[in-house]
Amino acid sequence: MSAPASSVKAVLVALSGNVLVTLVKFLAFAVSGSGAMLSEAIHSAADTGNQVLLFLGLKRAVRERDEEFHYGYGGERFIFGILSAAGIFFVGCGVTVYHGLTSLLHPHQPEIGAVTFAVLGFSFLVEGGVLLMAVRGVFQQSGGMGFFRYVREKADPATVAILLEDGAAVLGLVLAAAGISLAYVTGNPVFDSLASIIVGLLLGLIAIYLVLENRSLLLGRAVPDEVEQRFVDMVRARPSIADIHDVKTRQLTPEVFQFKAEVRFSETFVTARLTEALRGLGELPSGEAREQALRPVAQHLIRALSEEIDAIEAEVRAAIPEAKHIDLELEHLLAASVEDVAGVRKSA
C-alpha cells in the first residue's frame, strides 16, 4: 500500500523550491517593509512546513501492514494532509489576513524598490517552475483521463495539495506584485494591504478544500460510481452467478480499493458441480457410511466454489488494478441438498 513515487518527488521538489523562496521573501520584506511581501513570505514559510508534513505522511504510509493494522498505514497520508491543511489555514490564512487588516487600520508606506520587484520575479520563476513540474507529473499519472477529473477522483491528496499550494503561490505573487505596484504608483499603501488580505483568503479556501478532501478519504469514501458498476457487471456476467447485492466499496487510498458484496451462485452451476462429484458413486449406503460416502462430494463442491470465487477475483483485479481487497460472501448455494440431488440421480 505504498504512496506513488511521483507524489514523493512532487513534494520534495516543492519543498526545495519553497525553502529557497521563503528565505528570499523574508529578506525582501526586511528591506521593503511591504505587507504584501510579508504575506508572501509567510505564505511560503507555511507551504514549506506543510510540505514537510506531507512528506512525513507519505513516508509513514508506505509501512507494511502488521498485526495491529491489517490493511496497512495508507491512511497516515490523510492524517498528515489534514494537519498540513490546518497549517495553511491558521498560519497561511490567519496570519496573512491579520497582518493585512492591521496594515489597513494603521497604514504605512512600504519602501518599494528594484530589490522588491527582483524578488517577486525570482520567486515567480521558481514557484512557476515547481507548478509546471507538478502539472506535468499529474498529466503523466492520469493515463489519458481528463486532467481535472483525475485530480478530483484519483490523484493522491499530497499531489492535489502541491498543485493547489503552488497554484496559490503563483497567483499570490501576481496579486502581491499588483498590490505593491499600485501602492508604488499611487503612493497609497491600502493596495498593498488589500493584496495581503486577498492572498490570505485564497489560502483559507484552499485549506478548507484540502481538509474536506482528506476527511472524505479518511472516512473511507466509496469508489467512483463507474468503477463500482464495472465490478458489479463483471461479477454478474459470470455464468456461475445468479445475483449480486449488498455491494459496498471503499477507497483505502487512491491506489487501493476494497470491494465487498453478497453473491448467489446459480443452481444450474452448483448442480453441475454436484453431478460431477456424484458421478461413479453408485447407490449410496445408509447411516454413518452414507455420510462418509458424501464427504468427497462436499469437498469437491467446496473446492469448485472456491476456485470460482478465485477466478472472479482474478478477473476483477485484471480489469480494476486498484481492487486489492475483494470480499465475496455467499448468500446461499441452492435449495436442494446434496442428498436430494443424489436421490434424484439414483432414482433416474
The predicted-structure confidence for 40-52, as pLDDT tens digits, reads as follows 777 778 778 888 8
- Summarised one tens digit per residue, pLDDT across range 264-298 is 998 888 888 888 877 766 666 666 676 777 777 77
Q: So what's the pLDDT on residue 257?
A: 94
pLDDT of residue 97: 87
Q: What is the pLDDT of residue 270?
A: 85
Of the three residues 219, 240, 274, the one that is the final residue of a domain is 219
Q: Looking up cell 503552488, which residue turns up?
A: 166
Orientation angle between helical segments 76-87 and 190-219, nearest 10 degrees: 160
201 and 259 part of one domain: no
Alpha helices by DSSP H, listed for the chain, are: 5-32, 35-61, 76-87, 96-105, 114-142, 147-153, 157-186, 190-219, 225-237, 267-278, 288-319, 338-347
**Over the stretch 65-118, which tens digit does the pLDDT of each residue have?**
888 888 888 888 889 989 988 888 888 788 888 878 888 888 776 666 777 778
In this structure, what CATH number is given to the domain that contains residue 131?
1.20.1510.10
- For residues 195 and 109, membership in a common domain is answered with yes
Q: What is the model's pLDDT at position 338?
A: 45
The whole-number pLDDT of residue 9 equals 78
Q: How confident is the model at residue 336 (pLDDT cuts 50, 70, 90)?
A: very low
Same domain for 230 and 215, yes or no, is no
- pLDDT bin (cut points 50, 70, 90) of residue 208 is very high
Strand 241-253 to 256-265 pairing: antiparallel
pTM of the model: 0.75
164/36 same-domain check = yes
Give yes or no: residues 16 and 62 share one domain. Answer: yes
Q: Count structural domains, the chain.
A: 2
